[in-house]
Structure 1
Amino acid sequence: MAGVQKARGESASSPSLLRTCHNCHQAKIKCDRKSETGPCTRCERLDRQCRFTPARRRPNNPRRDSRIEALENQVQQLLGGGGLLTDRSASSSDHITPDAGFTVRSRPCTPLLLSPPQDPAGATGHSENPSTAITTPVAPPADVDPIARQMLSAESAETLLERFKTALTPHFPFVIVPPHVSLEAMRQEKPFLLLSILAAASYDDVALQRRLGRQVQHCIAGKLIYGDTVSLEALQGLLVHLAWSQYHPRPRRYTQFLQLAIGIIVDLRLDRKPDSRPWKTRIDLTKVTEPKKFLNLDEQRAVAGCFYLCSTVSTLLQKLCTFPWSLHIEECCKSLQQQKQYPTDKYIPYIIELQNLMEKADASNLTSCPTSRSAHVAQLRVRLETIKDSLPFTLTESPMVMTHWNTAMVYLCHTDVCTESALNALPTGETWPLWRVEALGTGLVAAKSTLSFFLSLPLGCEMYFNNSEWIQLGFVMTYSARLATLSSQTSIHQETLHLRRFLGMSDMLKDVASRLRSLSSSRMDDDGDKDVFNHYQQRVERLQAWFDTQSDRVPAVTVQPSPLAAHTATFGNGRDNLHYQECIGNEPLPWNAGQEPRSREMPAISVADRWQTHRPLDLSMGEDWFPPGPMDLADFAQYFAFDSDTM
């Protein structure tokens, strides 16, 4: 642009002359000059007057100049220069008519990524000059150190890292930080993973967690979009960010980030055995290298964790699974179980097997024959019981495995009773088949077990739950309400009376909402949004209101309860007098079930999101969540939009 302005200045000061004199032009001979101002060689030799005529000025072409300046400005923006168009270019571009054949921006392009806030103490997302903050493009830094940026102190970061090692890792054992690894070592060797860990563990400060979450997103763009970093550290950081994505600011881009993680696995060829690479990838024939015989343990955990996140979304939220189960994933789990590098590795094979079983149940929905589908689901339920009996540890030892097992049981029963094809096959005005009533009862018992387990945990353990666990809990609450409503049908009212009393769905939802209310905080983030538990509470209260409305619509039916129902009725609603061990057996409970949860002062919850619009990993309920009128149970699925996304 400087060259264009210089040429304009010269043309404005003195008229330009032709490069050929009049005599040479007439003779059509090349005109050569020894100097810039003297006569040409031919006129000097012939002793003729050498005269240069003024050049005809070309008409000013604002279209061409404006286009050049606009392109130069865009180049500066992409390079991070942040230059703005001059007043001359802006005014000239205003004169361009729409029929000129193209359009030129009269203002700079909006940058792809804004610069992250520099002031951690008072970062509000606004700068002193809003126009500069919006139009100045700054490429995100490839490596971000929140301690160096003074977003938090080294002591606080050390506390958060230790919290991740001890409290959060059991709820996502697919990314492990060894106990002996220090904060300084993480800052030097794995800064992006450290940033993701700090963002996940800082749930007691909603404003800080939001800022760290945005910093993670900037770092993802810097490493994977602007940069060329494809490494195991980038994969682990993405998995941690996805695992606790419920804490991070919207939009979360969960599906997009998950595809980035899958892309890294594919690029690093972690989705297959190392010795299964095709010969075409070995281009350098002169370089002799020892082929990699197996993946290291961190890589195997990352592969299993990516499948866990992707498959959970696929089955519970009915999305496309882009990273399905394979024998390679199973071999990775077996290797982790055999090596036993860390105590949490023993849980991974069973978590993956439970999720694979849920995928098989989801595939059974494609079967058109109800009998074949029910037989297949029955086999899966037997397999689920076999998994429980074969565990080398008690089911209550791992809250993650406990929740996953009960969710799988509810999911199998839901597949047998509550899917659209199953609802269409329900008999009208007739007694249900025994196998369907059994599936309904099994689902209600599993739902009771899950919700009782959640309520028996010490207050504050919910902070450690990963996003998939919250999806599972929301799924269980949603479909237990479905099952309880279906069990109120006249044709099976007597057979399921004891089950409804055992579940006590309305009171159970009240207890869950009360627990979430105790976890919610009045503190807000920089954008004025409340923590996630406040929105979870609103979600459960909506579910409770819906369930109570459906219960009121059920006509009163006088029945003669069976001896089993009369015996079960002595336990009340199954919440106060029924010991929790009746739901899960005689296994010891490490959290003292049946006693009041420990009362302790909880820090301010630092989570920010709305559960009713938690996308894509949520049980999204919009404003049209309630049915538009008296709901026909045969069309239950179309009204209860569990998996409706408004992304």
Structure 2
Amino acid sequence: MASTDSAAAESGESPQDDTYAAPYGRSCFNCSQAKCKCIYLKAGGKCQRCQRLDKECRQPATTRRSTTRRSAISKSTSKTNRLENKIEDLVSLLRAGVHPGNVSTTLLRQLAQLPENQKSTDSNAASPPGHSEISVSSSGPSSVYTRRTNGAESTPEASLSDGGGSLSTGAAAEHETEPTGVQAEEYFTVFLTQMLPYFPCMYVPPGTTAQKLRRDRPFSWLCIMAIASKSSAQRRLLFDRIKQVVAQRLVHEYSCRELDMLQGILLYLGWSNQQVYNKANIYVFAQLAMGIVYEMGLFNPEAKGKHMLLCVHQEPLENCTAPRGQVMEERRAVLGCFLLTSTIATFLQQSDSLRWTPHLDDCLRLLEEQQECVNDGILLQQVRLQLVTDRLGLGRCYGGSAKFAESMQPSPSVYLRPMQTQLQSRLQEIMSRLGSHSKGYKIVLLHHYNTSLSLYESALPKGAIASTLNVTYEHLDYLYGCLDSTKSWFDVFLSIPPGEYIGFPFAVFAQMVQNLATLFQLSTLESPLWDTANVRRTADILQILDTIVSNMNLVATINGLAGDPGADIFSNIAQTYHAVRVGWETRLKPDPIGSSAVDPVPSILNQTLPEILATSSDVLPGIGDHDWLTDMLNTMGQNENG
């Protein structure tokens, strides 16, 4: 090397005159690996670095092609030549060893660009993406959810990384767990026919396919696939992907003003019973849903944008003239958010619901005047009924004690009869529009009887049957009202075939727990004025539990749910209720008349979960990971004791 330099010096030439840098994509393998500039001698031979290190200088197996700018393409290039270039790009992808799971997706993306290229004479075939751009990475947040850029076409065949996040941490797993086109349409049909009527928080126009929904509302599509999937493994991965997408979009990207995100979270939360979840998950997603409502200004449009006065970074001005269809969807979403958060707050009593505002009254009125489908009427009735329940529990839901809530309410003789009359008139109004065998008819009846139960319970001391230690003649009317409402609720619930249970949202399961606990308390309330034998003749709680357990065990088989036995939520509910029945049967045996006090829940539910597992390991296999239902019953008992 030194002799070469001296020879160049003697000839009066600079060493740089005898060398040249390797063009783009032509660096030798060693320089490319070291990311060093590859310098060749004009005389030929090894590059300077390989010669200095005494290494073999060889070219890489494949070369990178520089992107040709559109301006360099001659306008006279024929469409045929551009099509041939595109095919060559696709062939190079196959030769480069791209993972099979991503080849089909990439090919479809490349082919989808062909019509766009043909629209303009000066367009150019895009360079094939590198391997790092094609494969889905799971190491960083960017792999969670990739947004579509403005103006980019979204193809139905695009992977979930373009519309709802990849389905797994690896390309192979993604290919295996992503719903196929046939599966997606099947899940979408199940959602529309068996699930949406129970919680109609969104409107799907007639003729909409899963493919179109994926293109228009990718996150909602992902959530629908998750809650309607029949595979436990697939459903688990989809739910995990939803959580990653939410973290990416709402936290990292601050995309808190998208209706698609709000609707998707409502769907995920509304049917969160389809996964075996913990309560913290409910609270977190409920708060996220309310946060989006606040950010979008849906609960009070007059306050929209005022919070930005305190921010240094100003958001761009938004188009205030939204299409009518979007405005109607926003109304359904905000009403659905109130319905869901109020149900969670009323049942679990550890969080607040979305605050009701005059604007929500307007949304309720305008949606009633401009109904687009039968589901709108169902949503309206559900919201009205839940609003009654929400106001009855106002004191507790906003951090007040039961004594404070009781002091806020007028005498039951003042409000009970008028409100019952009003509920009955509204029920008859909506029932006249629904078929007696439709899902909407039954879900409205379930909400009606559950609201009626809450209304009668509010008239009792501290708003709970367990607090009624000294039953008076005035209390009898309210107690029989509770019994009639609970019996009517179970009459409707047990009239629903087990095959339709798969569509039940969280609200139905919450109501079922509440009505079971109420019926147990009525069956064990000891008072000279209260006939427990008559209660058991009217509604035999043990027989009801047997029927529920039997029906829950049939759901997986009827609907073809795939996965390990007992991996679905319905089998877990059956196992839990079977254990509950054991405790209740012991408690309901005839006992000598003693104390007038009654336990709000049986002893088996007052135990901690490890104690239940220790005493009932044969009865509750695997329930240690699925304790949410027992925890709900324990929570209800603790709240009523306090």
Between stretches 240-249 and 547-556, larger displacement belongs to 547-556
Partner Cα distance (1:368, 1:414) in 2? 12
Query: Aligned ranges for residues 12-411 of structure 1 at < 5 Å?
Result: 139-143=142-146, 144-145=160-161, 149-150=174-175, 151-202=178-229, 204-230=230-256, 231-251=258-278, 253-273=281-301, 296-363=327-394, 365=402, 366-368=404-406, 372-375=410-413, 378=416, 379-391=418-430, 392-393=432-433, 396=436, 397=438, 398=440, 399-411=442-454
Match of 2:393, SS state, is: helix
TM-score, length-scaled by structure 1: 0.60
- Structure-2 residue corresponding to 1:491: 528
Using the TM superposition, give the Cα deviation of residue 363 of structure 1 relative to its aligned residue in structure 2, in angstroms: 3.0
Alignment correspondent of 2:572 = 535
Superposition deviation, residue 383 in structure 1: 3.4
Q: What displacement does 1:390 show? A: 3.6
Q: Does 1:451 align with 2:477?
A: no
1:416 offset after TM fit, Å? Answer: 3.1
> 8 Å contact 2:297–2:303 — kept in the other structure?
no
Q: Secondary structure at the match of 1:177?
A: coil
More helix, by proportion: 2
Whether the aligned pair in 1 keeps the contact of 2:368 and 2:380 (CA below 8 Å) is yes
Give unmatched runs, 5+ long, in structure 1: 1-117, 121-134, 558-607, 626-637
Match of 1:515 among 532, 551, 572: 551
Aligned partner of 2:478 in structure 1 is: 439
Aligned-partner residue type, residue 416 of structure 1: A
Alpha-carbon separation, structure 2, partners of 1:275 and 1:532: 41
> Are the structure 2 counterparts of residues 479 and 290 from structure 1 closer, same or farther at C-alpha, using a change threshold of 3 Å?
closer
Shift in Å at residue 174 of structure 1? 0.7
Report the alpha carbon displacement of residue 538 of structure 1 after superposing the two structures with TM. Answer: 2.3
Indicate which of 636, 640, 645 corresponds to 2:637.
640
- The separation in 2 between residues aligned to 1:619 and 1:417, in whole angstroms, is 25
- Given candidates 412, 417, 423, the residue that maps to 2:455 is 412
Aligned residue among 526, 539, 551 for 1:503: 539
Q: Distance in 1 between matches of 2:261 and 2:623?
A: 28
Contact 1:621 1:641 in 2 (8 A): no
Q: Aligned to 2:179, what secondary structure does the other structure show? A: coil
SS of structure 2 residue aligned to 1:640: helix
Q: Which residue of 2 aligns with 1:550?
A: 587
1:301–1:610 distance in 2 versus 1, CA, 3 Å: farther
Post-superposition shift, 1:534?
A: 1.7
Which of 474, 478, 484 is residue 517 of structure 2 equivalent to? Answer: 478
Match of 1:467 among 484, 506, 513: 506
1:438-464 Cα offsets, whole Å, 9 max, x none, are: 111121121111112222112211000
1:309 deviates by: 0.9
Q: Do the aligned partners of 1:611 and 1:620 also contact (CA within 8 Å) in 2?
A: no
Question: Which residue type is aligned with residue 637 of structure 2?
Answer: F
| Cα 1:423/1:163, change in 2 over 3 Å | closer
**Local SS of the residue matching 1:405:** helix
Task: In structure 2, give the amino acid aligned to 1:477.
Answer: L
Contact persistence 2:201–2:333 (CA under 8 A): yes
The range that moved more, 508-517 or 461-470, is 508-517
Matches of 1:247 and 1:444, distance apart in 2: 30
Checking the alignment, whether the CA contact within 8 Å between 1:308 and 1:355 is kept in structure 2 is: yes
Pick closer, same or farther for the CA change 1:324–1:612 going to 2, 3 Å. farther
How many Å apart are 1:372 and its aligned residue? 3.8
Amino acid of the structure 2 residue aligned with 1:255: Y
- 1:159: how far off? 1.4
Cα pair distance change 1:188/1:639, threshold 3 Å: closer
In structure 2, the partner of 1:37 is: none
Q: Following TM superposition, by how much is the alpha carbon of 1:276 offset from its aligned partner in structure 2, in angstroms?
A: 7.2
Distance in 1 (alpha carbons) for counterparts of 2:224 and 2:455:
34
The structural deviation recorded for 1:187 is 2.6
Gaps of 5+ in 2: 1-99, 103-137, 147-159, 396-401, 595-620
Q: Following the alignment from structure 2 to structure 1, what is the Cα–Cα distance between the partners of residues 492 and 284?
A: 33
Alpha-carbon distance in structure 1 between the residues aligned to 2:624 and 2:202:
26
Q: Using a 3 Å threshold, how does the CA distance of structure 1 residues 155 and 276 change in structure 2: closer, same or farther?
A: closer
- Of structures 1 and 2, the larger Rg is shown by 1
For residues 274-302 of structure 1, give each alpha carbon's deviation from its aligned partner in whole angstroms, at most 9, with x where no partner exists. Answer: 58765986999998976669871100010
Measured in 1, the distance between the counterparts of 2:140 and 2:447 equals: 45
Evaluate the alpha carbon distance shift between residue 284 and residue 508 of structure 1 in structure 2; reply closer, same or farther with a 3 A threshold. Answer: closer
Q: Is the 8 A contact 2:406 2:462 kept in 1?
A: no
* In 1: Cα distance, 2:296 partner to 2:408 partner: 43
Partner of 2:37: none
The answer (yes or no) to whether the contact 1:361–1:377 under 8 Å persists in 2 is no
Structure 1: distance between partners of 2:181 and 2:382: 35
Matched residue pairs, number? 440
Distance (whole Å) between structure 2 residues aligned to residue 421 and residue 153 of structure 1: 50
Cα distance change on mapping 1:244 and 1:491 into 2, 3 Å: same
How far 1:479 sits from its partner (Å)?
1.5
Query: Displacement, 1:306?
Result: 0.6
Partner secondary structure for residue 321 of structure 1: coil
Q: CA deviation at 1:497?
A: 4.1
Contact persistence 1:142–1:219 (CA under 8 A)? yes
Shift of 1:266: 0.9
SS of structure 1 residue aligned to 2:201? coil
SS at match of 1:299: helix
Given that 2:141 and 2:248 are in contact with CA atoms closer than 8 Å, whether structure 1 keeps it comes out as: no
> What is the Cα-based RMSD across aligned positions, in Å?
4.0
Cα distance in structure 2, aligned partners of 1:193 and 1:249: 20
Counterpart contact for 1:351–1:401, Cα < 8 Å = yes
How far did 1:336 drift? Answer: 1.4
Kept in 2, the 8 Å contact 1:173–1:344? The answer is yes
Q: 1:502-550, CA deviations, whole angstroms, 9 ceiling, x for partnerless residues? A: 1112211111112112225699988997211122112222332232222
Moved more, 143-152 or 329-338: 143-152
- Report if the CA contact (8 A) 2:299-2:334 is conserved: yes
Q: Per chain length, whose mean CA-contact separation is higher, i.e. which structure has more relative contact order (CA < 8 Å, sep 6+)?
A: 1
Alpha-carbon shift at residue 484 of structure 1 (Å) = 1.9
SS in 2 for 1:381: helix
Pairwise CA distance, 1:478: 1.6
